Structure 1
Amino acid sequence: MSPFSFSWDRTLTTLAAWALALLWILPLLYAAWTAFHPAEYETHFDLTAPLTLTNFADAWVQAPFARYFLNTTLLVTMILFGQILLGTLAAYAFARLEFRGRGILFSLVLMQLMIMPDILLVENYKTMRDLGLVDTILAIGLPYMASGFGIFLLRQSFMTIPQELDDAARIEGTSIMGRIWRLYVPLAKPTYLAFGLVSVSAHWNNFLWPLIITNSVETRPLTVGLSIFASTDSGIQWSSINAATLLTSAPLLLAFLLFQRQFVQSFMRAGIK
């Protein structure tokens, strides 16, 4: 078949892809337009409109976004560190160690993927209250320190590493921890990168649980701070709100654009479609 032959399936698929791309990009383009132009150009498009950074400066001083950025950075770093540490140890155990009940325990880990986090909001709040952690950054991240998805993804990656390498390291006297950090972790770097992007983006954008568990500026992340800023901004100045939205989402967009190739390749190597 000629590569230039007409195909209804290919044409419809391409049109659907373009339609979805436009649905995603149009709100972002509108946000960028209003954020980089004066407020009087919020509702109409004009190629001669002057560019300005005033909206970003106004948003930055009208709300403590510096504190929100710090809180969010601490939060996603803490969660990612805990997930990688616990996920690596659990993934190695499920991939290489033989012990009674391994299949049942791994099934329970996979069941975590089927449970909506919102179902556990009340119980998580009660637990944080009993621990005296309400309105702390630790309370936001503690329920997410273990990730069933991370364990599954790393296990799939570890199982692709030849058993002979593990046996050779064991014969040379390398301990379990030594084999994990010197053999498995370096060979699974693309998987760690992909999981890191997923974890950071998920908890960077998490809104409902931080809204419930925090009460003060000192502990609120960006998502909660942005919603409060949008609801209290006098007159609903979309230029300032969209500038704040771009400030919030820009780190994730840049991270994905920089690492998108490694992100896709790592999932392909893990056998996940």
Structure 2
Amino acid sequence: MSAMTLSHHAREASFWRVLETGACYLLGFLWILPLFYAVWMAVHPPAYEVRFELLAPLTLQNFVDAWNAAPFARYFLNTFALITTILVCQFVICTLAAYAFARYEFPGKTVVFMLVLIQLMIMPEVLMVENYRTISRLGLVDTVLAMGLPYMASAFGIFLLRQTFLTVPKELDDAARVEGAGPLAVLLKVYVPLARPVYVAYGLVSVSYHWNNLLWPLVITNSVTTRPLTVGLQVFASPDQGVQWSVISAATLMTSAPLLIGFLLFQRQFVQSFMRAGIK
């Protein structure tokens, strides 16, 4: 009877495992289907946008047309400058703030940290009007710096790094100080190397968000010379040119390719970092 019960439980567990696997494959297929459709339209002539043929002719002309329809080189340069500036500032500011919250005691520490956490509940769009007024008073409207200035610090980054720094044994601090290291040297030589996977994961999150951010760059920029990729893609939705889905798909793939490649390269560090930080 016991053997039959175990066999029944084993079959039941196997059934649920197969069901879960099938559900995962189904969700994966639903996720990849729009991407596959975009790739299909991008590498085939416009006549095959809604017609599937195994021997349909391939072409790269859609990518050429998309590249020539807008100053993509300038858009890529602006976007890379924006992402790099934001990421460097966030790493510096979030690292210093997280280290202070994790290892120093000062009056009002809990209150200040709660104020940082409250920032996670405020949507950036709520502050857009005040941010625009501030940027306008500074005379920075229609600049790359204006697009990145409201995001130079990140409450999420501070919280994530603080959680990681709290897991570092204090004995490492004492050992480094015995060797004559100062507070900044301890941070750079002990904490930062141990938190490298977290920096990779946070960097991917930050880059993905600001790479796809549209509303704030659209509000704060006026000229082609300062627009990022997300705003530049609007040229393909012009009513004068009509909607060319093959060209739009090619342009979208060109703008999203760096993000996809980056995630594929660092997906293991991305998952491991959140596990180490205790984030569910």
Normalization by structure 2: what TM-score?
Answer: 0.93
- In the superposition, relative to structure 1, how do residues 206 and 158 fare at CA in structure 2: closer, same or farther (>3 Å)? same
User: Deviation of residue 203 (structure 1)?
Assistant: 0.3
- 1:104-123 to 2 correspondence within 5 Å? 104-123=111-130
- From 184, 187, 190, give the equivalent of 1:183: 190
Q: What residue is the counterpart of 1:95 in the other structure?
A: 102
Report the 3-state secondary structure (helix = DSSP H, G, I; strand = E; otherwise coil) of the residue aligned with 2:227.
coil
Corresponding letter in the other structure for 2:85: M
User: Deviation of residue 231 (structure 1)?
Assistant: 2.7
Q: What residue is the counterpart of 2:249 in the other structure?
A: 242
Q: Based on CA coordinates, which of the two structures has the bigger radius of gyration? A: 2
Distance 1:180 1:267 in 2: 21
Corresponding letter in the other structure for 2:277: A
Aligned length: 273
- In the superposition, relative to structure 1, how do residues 91 and 35 fare at CA in structure 2: closer, same or farther (>3 Å)? same
**Alignment gaps of 5+ in structure 1:** none
**Structure that is richer in helix per residue:** 2
Report the 3-state secondary structure (helix = DSSP H, G, I; strand = E; otherwise coil) of the residue aligned with 1:218.
helix
1:14-49 deviations in Å (ceiling 9; x for gaps): 455444333322211111000011111111111111
Q: What residue is the counterpart of 2:156 in the other structure?
A: 149
Distance 2:33 2:199 in 1: 32
Corresponding letter in the other structure for 2:186: R
- In the superposition, relative to structure 1, how do residues 13 and 124 fare at CA in structure 2: closer, same or farther (>3 Å)? farther
Report the 3-state secondary structure (helix = DSSP H, G, I; strand = E; otherwise coil) of the residue aligned with 1:44.
coil
- In the superposition, relative to structure 1, how do residues 212 and 163 fare at CA in structure 2: closer, same or farther (>3 Å)? same
Kept in 1: contact 2:70–2:235 (CA 8 A): no
- Residue 210 in 1 paired to residue 217 in 2? yes
- From 41, 47, 52, give the equivalent of 1:45: 52
1:22-77 deviations in Å (ceiling 9; x for gaps): 33222111110000111111111111111111110110011101110010000011
State percent identity of aligned pairs.
Answer: 67
Kept in 1: contact 2:117–2:159 (CA 8 A): yes
Report the 3-state secondary structure (helix = DSSP H, G, I; strand = E; otherwise coil) of the residue aligned with 1:5.
helix
- In the superposition, relative to structure 1, how do residues 233 and 94 fare at CA in structure 2: closer, same or farther (>3 Å)? farther
**Alignment gaps of 5+ in structure 2:** 1-5
Kept in 1: contact 2:49–2:245 (CA 8 A): yes
Distance 2:176 2:240 in 1: 61
- From 219, 230, 242, give the equivalent of 1:223: 230
Distance 2:77 2:230 in 1: 13
User: Deviation of residue 183 (structure 1)?
Assistant: 1.0
Kept in 1: contact 2:75–2:228 (CA 8 A): yes
- Residue 124 in 1 paired to residue 119 in 2? no
Distance 1:114 1:78 in 2: 24
- Residue 255 in 1 paired to residue 262 in 2? yes
Divergent runs of 4+, >3 A: 1-20
- From 62, 68, 80, give the equivalent of 1:61: 68
Q: What residue is the counterpart of 1:77 in the other structure?
A: 84
RMSD: 1.7
1:103-146 deviations in Å (ceiling 9; x for gaps): 11111111111111111111111111111111001000000000
- In the superposition, relative to structure 1, how do residues 59 and 4 fare at CA in structure 2: closer, same or farther (>3 Å)? farther
Normalization by structure 1: what TM-score?
Answer: 0.95
- 1:136-175 to 2 correspondence within 5 Å? 136-175=143-182
User: Deviation of residue 251 (structure 1)?
Assistant: 0.4
Corresponding letter in the other structure for 2:225: E
- 1:10-25 to 2 correspondence within 5 Å? 13-14=20-21, 16-25=23-32
Report the 3-state secondary structure (helix = DSSP H, G, I; strand = E; otherwise coil) of the residue aligned with 1:100.
coil
1:166-191 deviations in Å (ceiling 9; x for gaps): 11212222111111111111111000
User: Deviation of residue 9 (structure 1)?
Assistant: 5.8
Distance 1:128 1:8 in 2: 59
Corresponding letter in the other structure for 2:171: E
Distance 1:250 1:55 in 2: 16
Distance 1:166 1:6 in 2: 48
